[in-house]
């Protein structure tokens, strides 16, 4: 076969070096987190917006009552992390689909990851350090 270029056989997947199976894990993560979020988010929405007066009974004292229970703190923490990561990956895919220039994509994705980091850090901090006896003002 001398003289022929060194080509991969037809059908060989073109995988950028070093990317591994990231997209496949992301695909699985969307489905598994989505399943968990159906319970976590729809439960949250039902309690917060429909049940027993809905949002009209929500205030600081209401939050203090709920977060006195480790169960609801764990619920909210799991919901925060899964929803933020699920949404970040979703937006990453949307950005990749519509951003035509590399620079645009880079900036939007950078902004996206920065906001995700901020929200995860802030939300986690608030759930762990909530103080029901905080001064009213």
Partner 1 sequence: MWSWVAQRITGVLTFFFLFVHVLDTALVRVSPNAYDKVISLYKNPLVNVMELGLVGAILYHALNGLRVMLVDFWAGGVRYQRLMLWVIVAVWIVVMVPSAYFMLQYNVEKLFGSN
Which of 1-9, 13-21, 51-59, 100-108 is the region at the interface with partner 1 (rule: CB under 8 A)? 51-59
CB-CB neighbours of 112 under 10 Å:
17
C-alpha to C-alpha distance for 98 and 108, rounded to whole angstroms: 11
Q: How far is the CB of 4 from partner 1 (least distance, A)?
A: 41
**Residues 87-116: x where in contact with partner 1 by CB under 8 A, - otherwise, as a string:** xx-xx--x--------------------x-
- SS3 state at 101: coil
Query: Among residues 89, 109, 74, which one has the least CA distance to residue 31?
Result: 89
Name which position in 55, 100, 101, 103 contacts partner 1 (CB under 8 A): 55
Q: Are the CB atoms for 41 and 86 separated by under 8 Å?
A: no
Which of 1-9, 10-18, 99-107, 121-129 is the region at the interface with partner 1 (rule: CB under 8 A)? 121-129
């Amino acid at each position: 076969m001398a003289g022929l270029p060194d080509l991969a056989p037809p059908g060989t997947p073109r995988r950028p070096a070093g990317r591994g199976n990231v997209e496949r894990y992301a695909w699985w993560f969307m489905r598994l987190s989505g399943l968990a979020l159906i319970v976590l988010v729809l439960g949250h929405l039902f309690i917060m917006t429909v049940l027993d007066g809905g949002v009209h009974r929500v205030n600081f004292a209401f939050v203090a009552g709920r977060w006195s229970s480790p169960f609801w703190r764990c619920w909210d923490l799991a919901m925060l992390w899964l929803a933020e990561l699920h949404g970040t990956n979703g937006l990453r895919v949307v950005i990749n689909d519509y951003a035509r220039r590399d620079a645009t994509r880079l900036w939007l994705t950078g902004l996206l990851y920065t906001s995700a980091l901020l929200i995860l850090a802030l939300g986690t901090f608030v759930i762990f350090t909530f103080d029901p006896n905080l001064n009213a003002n």
